[in-house]
Amino acid sequence: MKSKRQNNLSAAEWKVMRVVWDLKKAMAREVYTVAGEEHGWTPATVKTLLKRLVDKGYLNTTKVGNGFVYRPAHSAISILRDAADTLLGNAARGTTGPLLAHMLESSPLDEADLDSLQQLIDEKKKSLGSDDSKHK
Amino acid sequence: MKSKRQNNLSAAEWKVMRVVWDLKKAMAREVYTVAGEEHGWTPATVKTLLKRLVDKGYLNTTKVGNGFVYRPAHSAISILRDAADTLLGNAARGTTGPLLAHMLESSPLDEADLDSLQQLIDEKKKSLGSDDSKHK
DNA sequence: AGCTAACGTTGACATTTGTAAACGATTCGG
DNA sequence: CCGAATCGTTTACAAATGTCAACGTTAGCT
């Protein structure tokens, strides 16, 4: 079961996390620079967000020099999955298919990605045929 | 281009919207009942959410009897797409494929949905092979 | 050893969100 | 035609969020 993560990421916190996930690990300076530049934030703002992320358990720290090295406490994909589940849970009847279609269209995917997706679709189709849980 | 919708839906507001989208249109009573039951909200809470949704422009109203009929101002899919774009925008490098895979796996899709997705994948594969468009 | 740049912590403040009661208007059953 | 059931609006209030400055600490250069 998924550990009920009650403290969800806010919009601003997501931006910071994306930076740290991309860098794998980062020092405050790097986050100030990248995230600050990207969103027009002052270092002060980024500091607050980093602190909140640590408090919420999304970032771990290791002391180095006068500061910390920040690193993600969870993989990006696991957090993304949770967010995706929430999104899917909000999808009204009949919108799931079109939603996935849109995402597929607007995503940059490589050959390998497309292959896995193809395979998943094939499997799903197969299990649709044998699956007698379809009541139309 | 996507009209910069500054007033995003909050978690609670999404729940209410999903109910109204599913019903196509609804009177306060119905929303109290369905959404209230689903989330343990009092009618008072649902009232507040409905009002905020009207103020934010997500719901339109038509006077009927002593109250309103509420109906979505935008299609569910268009709002979902915006949310999906936000999610994809937060996806760290290399996580987009796995993210889509997860969503595909955990979504209930019918034959038609799967067919459209399959086609999209085929097209994407084609354009990957021949057309090496690296433009923006 | 002393100074300074950089870091984390605290404090701040306006806005949004979650949750709900109180109040006033209005419609419908009788 | 009158009162009860509803509905929408107003008010409330704590917690979360977005943004940032001030302050105290410390590492690293000189």
Average pLDDT over residues A35-39: 96
Do A16 and A64 belong to one domain? yes
Rounded Cα distance, A56 and B73, in Å: 36
Smallest Cα distance from A100 to chain B, Å: 7
Residue B79, domain member (yes or no): no
Smallest Cα distance from B67 to chain A, Å: 25
Do A59 and A103 belong to one domain? no
Do B62 and B22 belong to one domain? yes
Residue A123, domain member (yes or no): yes
Do A21 and A61 belong to one domain? yes
Residue A6, domain member (yes or no): no
Rounded Cα distance, B125 and B121, in Å: 6
Residue B113, domain member (yes or no): yes
Of A17, A104, A134, the CB nearest to B100: A104
The tokens of B34 are what?
């369905």
Dihedral sign computed on CA atoms, order A55, B10, B7, B107: positive
Residue B48: enclosing H or E segment and its boundaries? helix B43-56
* pLDDT by residue, tens only, chain B of 136 residues: 544 455 899 999 999 999 999 999 999 999 999 999 999 999 999 999 999 999 999 999 999 999 999 999 999 999 999 999 999 999 999 999 999 999 999 999 999 999 999 999 999 999 987 665 544 4
Residue A29, domain member (yes or no): yes
Do B15 and B62 belong to one domain? yes
* Separation in Å: C29 C1' and B26 CA: 23
Residue B81, domain member (yes or no): no
Q: Which residues contact B85 (CB under 8 A, 6 or more apart)?
A: A106, B2
Structural domain containing residue B20: 11-72
- Cα–Cα distance list, B95 to A88, A130, B10, B88, B123 (Å): 18, 32, 25, 9, 21
Residue B86, domain member (yes or no): no
Number of domains in chain B: 2
- Cα–Cα distance list, A101 to A27, B22, B56, B112, B120 (Å): 38, 20, 28, 12, 7
Do A67 and A98 belong to one domain? no
* CATH number, domain with residue B31: 1.10.10.10
3-state secondary structure A80-108: HHHHHHHHHHCCCCCCHHHHHHHHHHCCC
Is any atom of strand D within 7 angstroms of residue B44's beta carbon?
A: yes
